[in-house]
Amino acid sequence: MDPMQPFRDEVVRLTSDAVRKLGADVQFEVEVPSPELADFAIPCFPLAKKLRKAPAAIADELAKNIASSDRLTKVWADKGYLNFRVNEQMLIDSTLKAVLAEKENYGRGEKKDKKVLLEHTSVNPTGPIHVGRARNPLIGDTLARILRRCGYDVTTEYYVNDVGKQVVLLTWGINNVPESEVKPADRDKADHRLVGYYQRANEMMESDPEVGRQIADMLVRFEAGDPAVIETVGETAKLMLQGIGSSLESVGVKVDQFTWESKFILNGQAKEVVAKLKASPKCMQEEGASYLDLEELSTQGKSTKFFFTRSDGTTLYTTRDLAYHLDKFKRADMWINVLGEDQKLGMTHLAAALRIMGVDKVPECVFYSFVALPEGRMSTRKGRVVYLDDLIEEAQDRALEEVKKRRFDISEERMFRIAQQIGAGSIRYNIIRVQAEKQFVFQWEEALNFEGNSAPFLQYAHARCCSILRKAPSYDRNANFALLSNEAEKKLIRVLSLFPSTVREAGEKRKIHVIPAYGHELASAFNQFYGVSPVLNSGEVQDARLCLVEATMWALRDVLDTLGIAAPEEM
RNA sequence: GGACGAGUGGCCUAGCAUGGAUAUGGCAGCAGCCUCCUAAGCUGCAGGUCCGGGGUUCGAAUCCCCGCUCGUCCGCCA
């Protein structure tokens, strides 16, 4: 339940009535300005033209015509705005009651009865996942969590690229490169062990044409449906995926299902796409290869030729991607892809091809810019790369140092567990807090920042709540909330009341970074309260304050949960 | 060359779709705060041509045009 909603509804209702009294039925916006100004405000500037009056005059008149209401304690006009103050006591009461009743479900929206298929990660299974790519699973997983909290039925999916040169080359490498020629792995994990074979096979292919011929041969047999080739390639992909999967797991990302690209060759759906596209008047031939002429569809760029077969008739990645999307359309009501910005043009081509096929559905895409290093774009082959596993390890090591600095009363094991939660959380938070399309330069100091706008800031506030609650005697959950009257308390409750609408906004607009921002604001408001309002041994206000602490604890848990970050009870 | 995206105090960042009331926070810096619920915290100070230039408007970080810088793409690759 959204504690703010009844107040907003009241503002809309009363303003509509007042506007109608002025003789015009015009639309208006309800803004939420900064709290010192007002709780809700309606700018009267857009109304000025239609009513042919000065904004200030309109605001004045509206203010006079607003009927009185229990929910709104003050209505006034100021500089062309019609302002409202909500009944703070009612808001305090309803907010605290809502959080204490809903607990881990505070902020959860109504069931939407809509299936969302959210594709994310989908990195080629040829090496360990690195930080340049890690933005994808983190954005995808967080968006999935947000949409679930909004009430959608979300399934996440990893599209596995088990077709094509990369993974075939890796397979060739595993089967043909002697172990002695491979740089020893820095970590005992399938993806780290195998990537050396991939790197060495790449070098060998460049220097020895025979290697290239063998790879090409495997590729042809793969396309022809040779089960032996498909199976062994599938095996290497699976091995890689295990390694990638466990990296993802250690930052709290779990993918619901995997769809293998080879499926669309084996089940003939890629061929069906070819047949459909060939039937289109937009279909052209060039030396035996088929393409769609996208010129008229104003897809920008130099090349408007969208090839979907090679001259030998075999399908291309894009053809199979088309088949994959047709498959997705049958399985859900909404489709979201989290993709690197390099896929943008490809996706507009895909959308155009779908239109040509007479399909009226199109996937929605969330694009993100690549994470680079200060010295440039990450590249596994150039060795200019930071693996996610290394980042996680480093973050957890640093977190452990911090825990050891301040805790002498808990077991080594417990400290280690806390450090894991802080380390993983920090990484997620650091990447998720900036909007996806912003360029991102990875910096160790920043990624490992445990102060200010960071995951531990939120976790720490939560641990403080838990600590107070642990020491508290039993208390009345229907305490007199009117006793919560100082500025810090009121501010904290305000922030608490904003969580449901923030989740809704993050989900509907696909702006996941508003959740970390909200979390920071909540933790910050709590820390301020903590500084000025003693809770334990505070006499008659104690029960009310304990309720506030408990409500904050739930809300912080809810925020952390939707961010995929653990909420340790002590740190 | 074309297309798309980003440019906000020393550094990172919110706000931009629907133009409006003092541009959001954080890091780093400076000055304070632990006999009291964990100082991964709190308070205060300082720091800004919102990339540049035009335009629209009563009003532009936000809209339009022209530049600049950075990123990405423009394969019978995936």
The CATH number of A388-563 is: 1.10.730.10
Q: Judge whether residue A522 has pLDDT over 90.
A: yes
Measured CA to CA, the distance from residue A368 to residue A338 in angstroms comes to 8
With contact defined as beta carbons under 8 Å apart, do A214 and A246 qualify? no
What is the model's pLDDT at position A191?
95
Within 7 Å of a protein beta carbon, the nucleotides of strand B are: 1-7, 12-15, 17-18, 20-22, 25-28, 36-43, 58-59, 70-78
pLDDT band at A297 (very low <50, low <70, confident <90, very high): low
Q: Which of A116, A112, A99, A115 is nearest to A150 (CA)?
A: A112
What's the DSSP call for residue A384? B
Nucleotide nearest to A400 (CA to C1'): B40
Q: Which of A130, A145, A125, A121 is nearest to A366 (CA)?
A: A121
Nucleotide nearest to A299 (CA to C1'): B3
A86 strand-pairing partners: A72
Instruction: Please give the protein residue whose CA is closest to the C1' of the nucleotide B73.
Output: A342
Name the H helices within A441-541.
444-447, 455-471, 487-497, 499-508, 514-532
Nucleotide nearest to A82 (CA to C1'): B21
Q: Which CATH number fits domain A5-86: 3.40.50.2300, 3.40.50.970, 3.30.390.50, 3.30.1360.70?
A: 3.30.1360.70
Domain spans in chain A, listed from the N-terminal domain onward = 5-86, 120-255, 388-563
Average pLDDT taken over every residue of chain A: 93
Nucleotide nearest to A443 (CA to C1'): B12
Protein-to-nucleotide distance from the CA of A435 to the C1' of B53, whole angstroms = 29
What is the model's pLDDT at position A322?
97
Protein-to-nucleotide distance from the CA of A241 to the C1' of B62, whole angstroms = 44
Protein-to-nucleotide distance from the CA of A452 to the C1' of B27, whole angstroms = 8
Nucleotide nearest to A315 (CA to C1'): B76
* A224 or A455, greater pLDDT: A455
Protein-to-nucleotide distance from the CA of A241 to the C1' of B54, whole angstroms = 54
- Section A4-10 average pLDDT: 94
Instruction: Please give the protein residue whose CA is closest to the C1' of the nucleotide B33.
Output: A531
Protein-to-nucleotide distance from the CA of A457 to the C1' of B35, whole angstroms = 27
The CATH number of A120-255 is: 3.40.50.620
Q: Judge whether residue A52 has pLDDT over 80.
A: no
Tokens representing A182? 């491979």
Protein-to-nucleotide distance from the CA of A448 to the C1' of B28, whole angstroms = 15
SS3 A564: coil
* A48 or A118, greater pLDDT: A118
What is the model's pLDDT at position A411?
94
Residues with Cβ within 8 Å of A410's Cβ and at least 6 positions away in sequence, in order, are A570
What's the DSSP call for residue A130? B
Measured CA to CA, the distance from residue A355 to residue A362 in angstroms comes to 9
Any idea which residue has 């091995």 for tokens?
A239
pLDDT band at A302 (very low <50, low <70, confident <90, very high): low
With contact defined as beta carbons under 8 Å apart, do A237 and A160 qualify? yes
pLDDT in tens, A459-469: 999 999 999 99
